[in-house]
Amino acid sequence: MIEFLTDQRFIEAASFFGLVMVEMAVLFIGVSFLVNVLTELFPSEQIGAILSGKKGRGYLAGAGLGAITPFCSCSTIPMTVGLLRANAGFGPTMAFLFTSPLVNPMLIALLWMALGWRFTALYTFCAILFTLIISFLLDRFNFQRFIDQDAIAPTCGAGKNQNTHPNDTSTGGAFRRLLANKARLKELLANSSEQYRTFLPYIAIGIAIGAISHGFIPENYLVELAGSDNPWAIPASAVIGIPLYLRASTMVPMIMPLAAKGVALGALAALIIGAAGASLPEVIMLKRLFRLPLMAAFLLSVFTIAIATGFAFEWLIA
């Protein structure tokens, strides 16, 4: 037992678990609080209108919002809950959920430095294109009915704009009044903390699984499964990525040696999308929000985006 506890892999896994748990607490509560503040300043109808635009504008807005938010797969969830509470369109919200961890600014910058502009440009184009297509299909087949409404129900008065004033209806005026209303800010923070508490068991289980994979899955195993001599390298890479939970800061240092050892670019792209788009911690957290049919559709969607992007690399670059 003592030998196991002092094993370097266990130490790495335990360190990863502790670090990510603290990081997720800060991110989850912080993002939830920010969303609560935004819904306090802007009517839910206004947010819903922006992300429910006709002729695809809502989908582009959802994907664009995802592309500019520096979130990992797990920290997208409180934002997703906030958008659903604000009556944003289901399809555009799914476009945000898919896009945010796949095309966030930090990941794109690191990929550019590590693998060059051609890889990064094609990766970004494919990730956004396939995300828009799949989000539209999920909306078209009415998967919205499989959202757990209890998970998105407001608590502690969140989302109820209490800062209206007959003489100043501007956003700036509402923001100043909200800053001056300490009791309301504490109420919004308490709501964010309560939302985090309801997700906490799912967060802990998911991160524990991610920590085990982080500490105990050897790099050589990944190279063997995703190597260029494996005809199933692209789908295998997509599946491998799901349990890894790689953030941008850890993903690029990991894929660079894989590229150096001969892993094909298509397999690398599939691995990145699988790891960033559907990590096990995120999937377990989404269990609180999605019912089984939508959960299965989400996993299949990320797998499809990863496979399609991987083969696009093979056809267009290889």
Q: Which residue, among 133, 100, 73, has the nearest Cα to 309 in the 3D structure?
A: 133
Instruction: Judge whether 160 lies within some domain.
Output: no
Domain that holds residue 62: 2-152+165-316
Instruction: Judge whether 158 lies within some domain.
Output: no
Please state the φ and ψ torsions of residue 272, each to the nearest 5 degrees: -60, -45
User: What's the pLDDT at 24?
Assistant: 75
User: What's the pLDDT at 253?
Assistant: 63
Instruction: Judge whether 27 lies within some domain.
Output: yes
User: What's the pLDDT at 164?
Assistant: 45
Domain count, the chain: 1
Instruction: Judge whether 60 lies within some domain.
Output: yes
Instruction: Judge whether 216 lies within some domain.
Output: yes
pLDDT tens series, the chain, 318 aa: 555 456 677 787 788 788 878 877 887 788 778 877 877 777 666 777 778 766 678 999 999 988 887 677 677 888 888 888 888 899 999 999 999 889 988 888 888 888 889 999 999 999 999 999 999 999 999 999 999 988 887 655 555 555 444 444 555 667 778 778 888 888 888 888 887 888 788 778 767 766 776 555 555 556 666 665 666 888 988 887 776 666 665 666 667 777 777 778 898 899 889 888 887 778 888 888 999 999 999 999 999 999 999 999 988 875
User: What's the pLDDT at 163?
Assistant: 47
User: What's the pLDDT at 19?
Assistant: 84
Instruction: Judge whether 159 lies within some domain.
Output: no
Instruction: Judge whether 55 lies within some domain.
Output: yes
Task: Say if residues 255 and 114 touch (Cβ distance below 8 Å).
Answer: yes
Total Cβ atoms within 10 A of residue 144? 15
